[in-house]
Structure 1
Amino acid sequence: MDSSQPGNPTGTTRPTPRPARPRPVPKPVRRLRPEAKPAPVRVMHFSDTNLPRRDGIVTSTRTLLGSLVDQGHQSVLVVPHHPSQGLERGVLTLDSVPCGVAALRLVLPRAAHVDQLAGWAPDVVHVHTPGPAGLLGIMTARRLGVPVVHTYHTDLHAYAEAYRAPSAALRLMLRMYARRLDRPVPKVGRGRNAKRALIDAVNELLLEDAGAVVVPTPAILERTTLSVPEDRMFVAPAAVSRPSLDADAAADFRRRWSIPERAPVVLFVGRVNREKGVDLLVPAFERVAAELPDARLVLVGAVYQKRELRRMLKRHGIADRTHVLGEQPADEVAAAYAACDVFAFPSQSDTQGLVLQEAALAGRPAVLVDPALHTSNAVANAFELTEPSPDAFADRTVDLLRAPERSAAIGARARERAAAHTTASYASTMVDIYRHVLAD
């Protein structure tokens, strides 16, 4: 499923150059005769994250693969093996080891892996993550001489800060990437900006070969400067499907989790940590509960720092009003949207916020604090934007909870916009980009 501190997530000085402006998706370069049918595209996708972990990258990649197959294209997803995942059509798993961070597992890229994958003979390699699996994708593309499309899903600076990635590990990663890609190791100093500079250097190595770099929304470019020529950058927001639910799904959800039938529910979906703004949400809900004593906070998503979360909930006096559900299957998450009254999105590090689309498809109003994302995601300007402070977030949330008719109108408008952005249109956009890099 669908992830920091307000402002600068690393506390370092931001680079001054303006980011390249991503351009619209190109039309196919070569015009076909009306009776000609474009050939299907064979795409090999690489991602460092997959089920049973649930996050925005897992959602968008799996949605994209399904839609590409529906449109007659061939796709295969290369991911690290997880012991709990069995064989799955269209998914190739490689030996992996746990890395100890956010339940991620890592592939150790080797030439033997490239030999193993080369037989599938893709037309295009699509890299979705910057980890070792993404590196393996670039190595495979080089070996086969095929173009690379790279989607920049994650704000790596915020991610590294939230999980306290040590600079020594980032330096090791940079050296390994440079060696595997046969490039000189970039020189990075050791000052207070070293962590940011190391991530920028890793990005430069990974994106160097990309025929196209895709950003889900321009919001990421408000926080990160990517060293990519403007003519290679494109915007392609991912899409999600609206699940079908029984009429009693919301009531059943409340019963399962002991939530009173008429209690106002504020829902959060995502990784339950400060990277996703939970340290803003918890004190905000303390103020909500002071105004509406029956209100409940529901947290759906992986919790990697459980003791820290328990202490935070206890310190703000809302432990007995908070339901921490952990990761849940897609049907249960859909029921959570149906059961809530307001969706809380306190993150300032997301590049697109697929959970906003999910909330919109459920017809639920959302409160968010990221102005760049508010104006540029697939349901832009359809939600409530407020300041990134507990008081402001609480005030806007209480306003929605006390005005059900207005909340319903906001949710209906969001649902209409989200429904117009389909998984099929997302796949078609990506096919245009694949064909563009092939023509180049």
Structure 2
Amino acid sequence: MPAAPARHILFLNWRDTHNPEGGGSEVYTERIAAELVTHGHRVTLLCAAHGDAPAEQVLPNAVHVLRRGGRHTVYLRAALTYLAGGCRLGRLAAGVRGRPDLIVDVCNGVPFLSPLYARCPTVVVVHHVHREQWPVVFGDWRGRFGWWLESRVAPRVYRRCRYVTVSTATRDELVRLGVAAARISIIQNGLPGVTGVPVRRAAYPCLVVLGRLVPHKRVEYALDALAALAAELPDLRLIVAGRGWWEPRLREYAARLGVAGRTEFAGYVTERRKHELLSHGWVALVPSLKEGWGLTIMEAAARETPAIAFRGAGGVCDAIRHGDTGLLADDPGDFVAKIRWLLTDDRARRRMGRAARRYAESFTWPAAGNQLATLVDGVLTPDRKAP
């Protein structure tokens, strides 16, 4: 079968990895976009502007970035940029780009609704459904409006589009929202690049939480576990790596629990430092309310550090093979019990760590890119026949 023709593909995502609030969704978007470049496609990422980041940039992986609008206005700016034929990078790629052949619309709760204005096919990426998160982030009418937009409006606007998600849990939730299962493809994350050499495991029991410090990440549950186990494990420590507007509340909570002296708020960490912490810790905790996949679970696994998350948190059930590569808790009490078990059973913890590394190594970005490239080819040239 002849190779698919090169296309111009536009990714719409509200943030990029350089954004201070960027997370796993942004890593997925940029890594899989880069894989499409290796397949010969031209890729543009349109996201919100932030800080001192340039409005136009070409990343080392050849993905072109347009930063337009802000946290709330990026959706409107995406539509206006498309309608103006502005999906090009001015002086960086003058005359090379025009309107895209295909849009990859990444929905992080608020959809871009690109089929309403785009004259090209759209592929929708949904990492997870935000039903539980809307009332946590916005407890008023904004949360209700956001859930209405995500659960009622988006499925109707994207009713003719192909969907991509990263876990079976999210696929099942999308089906419950009315998206036909036949239109949903699961393309999971690859193993993040491992930076630096492993450092020695801590000589004392050490827990690590890695991620944005926002309410729905529920770092409080990790602090609760630290307090509950402090008397049994007097040397127990917790490292919280990441930044976010919820950090002052978490510091106050740690002080109220009497565990501030046992807790290190490491703030933003480099890739190298992140992997040092994951090598240093005994167990990675992912107490989040909802995750599409759980990128930090795989990052920890690469360092043979098993993770514990909540069974009801969506895609973590794919990222953790319960009892083999880590553990899934049913409720806060069970979360503490499972942490106690792994911290006190060296043999089980090390066995799960080794299994976690082997499992993580089975996921690669080239494989994910091949899957998306095949899907893109099928959307743009549906009549092509395999030999």
User: Is TM-score (shorter-chain normalized) higher than 0.5?
Assistant: yes
Candidates 221, 228, 232, aligned match of 2:183: 232
Change (3 A) 1:288 1:374: farther
Structure 2 counterpart SS, 1:214: strand
Distance in 1 (CA, whole Å) between partners of 2:338 and 2:166 is: 27
**Aligned twin of 2:92:** none
Is residue 203 of structure 1 aligned with residue 154 of structure 2? yes
Tell me, in whole angstroms, the C-alpha distance in 2 between the residues paired with 1:106 and 1:121. Answer: 18
Residue 326 of structure 2 is matched in structure 1 by 383
- 1:223 Cα deviation after fit: 5.1
Instruction: Indicate the residue corresponding to 1:156 in structure 2.
Output: 130
In structure 2, what is the Cα distance between the partners aligned to 1:170 and 1:113?
29
Name the Cα RMSD after superposition: 2.7
Write the mapping of 1:239-318 to structure 2, written as runs, cut at 5 A. Answer: 239-247=190-198, 249=199, 262-318=203-259
On the 8 A contact 1:378/1:421 being kept in 2, the answer is: no
User: 3-state SS of the aligned residue for 1:434?
Assistant: helix
Residue 43 of structure 1 is matched in structure 2 by 9
Contact preservation (8 Å) 2:109, 2:150: no
Q: Alpha-carbon deviations, 1:67-114, whole Å to 9, x = none?
A: 222343322211111132235312332432355xxxxx7453376412
Q: Which amino acid aligns with 1:388?
A: D
Could you tell me which residue of structure 2 aligns to residue 135 of structure 1? 112
Q: Which residue of 1 aligns with 2:68?
A: 95
Is 1:216 the counterpart of 2:189? The answer is no
Which residue is 1:370 aligned to?
A: 311
Question: Cα distance 1:205–1:420, how it changes in 2: closer, same or farther (>3 A)?
Answer: same
Of residues 341, 344, 349 in structure 2, which corresponds to 1:399? 341
Tell me the distance in 2 between the aligned counterparts of 1:374 and 1:306. 25
Change in CA separation of 1:57 and 1:359 when aligned onto 2, cut-off 3 Å: same
SS in 2 for 1:128: strand
Q: Tell me the equivalent position of 2:296.
A: 355
Find the counterpart in structure 2 of residue 18 from structure 1.
none
CA contact (8 A) 1:291 1:398 kept: no
Could you report, residue by residue, the CA deviation over 1:328-371 in whole angstroms, capped at 9, with x for unpaired residues?
23222222211111011222311211111111111111112215
Equivalent position amino acid for 2:57 in 1: E
In structure 2, what is the Cα distance between the partners aligned to 1:356 and 1:375? 8
| Structure 2 portions without partners, runs of 5+ | 89-96, 383-387
Higher alpha-carbon deviation: 112-121 or 232-241? 112-121
Question: Is 2:375 aligned against 1:433?
Answer: yes
The alignment partner of 2:208 has SS state of strand
Task: Give the conservation status (yes or no) of the 8 Å contact 2:171–2:181.
Answer: no
For 1:73 and 1:129, the matched residues in 2 are separated by 22
Secondary structure of the 2:230 match is helix
Amino acid at match of 1:426: A
8 Å CA contact 1:203–1:226 kept in 2: the answer is no
Which moves more between the two structures, 418-427 or 228-237?
A: 228-237
CA distance in 2, matches of 1:242, 1:269: 16
Amino acid at match of 1:52: N
CA distance in 1, matches of 2:129, 2:106: 13
Alpha-carbon distance change, 401 to 42 in structure 1, aligned in 2, over 3 angstroms: same
| 1:61 shift after superposition | 0.8
Q: Percent identity?
A: 19
Residue 125 of structure 1 corresponds to: 103
TM-score with structure 2 setting the length: 0.84
TM superposition score normalised by structure 1? 0.74
Q: How many residues align?
A: 362
1:344 aligned residue (279, 285, 288): 285
- After alignment, is 42-51 or 70-79 more displaced? 70-79
Distance 1:376 1:398 in 2: 20
Alpha-carbon distance in structure 2 between the residues aligned to 1:348 and 1:414: 22
2:195 touches 2:271 (CA, 8 Å); kept in 1? no
1:363 alignment partner, SS class: coil
Paired with 2:77 and 2:156, the residues of 1 have a C-alpha distance of 16
d(CA) in 2 for partners of 1:222, 1:284: 31
Residues 165, 70 of structure 1: alpha-carbon distance in 2 compared, 3 angstrom cutoff? farther
**Any conservation in 1 of the 2:68–2:77 contact (CA below 8 Å)?**
no
Cα distance in structure 2, aligned partners of 1:342 and 1:130: 28
How far did residue 275 of structure 1 move? 1.0
State the SS of the aligned residue for 1:294: coil
Where 2:11 maps in the other structure, the secondary structure is: strand
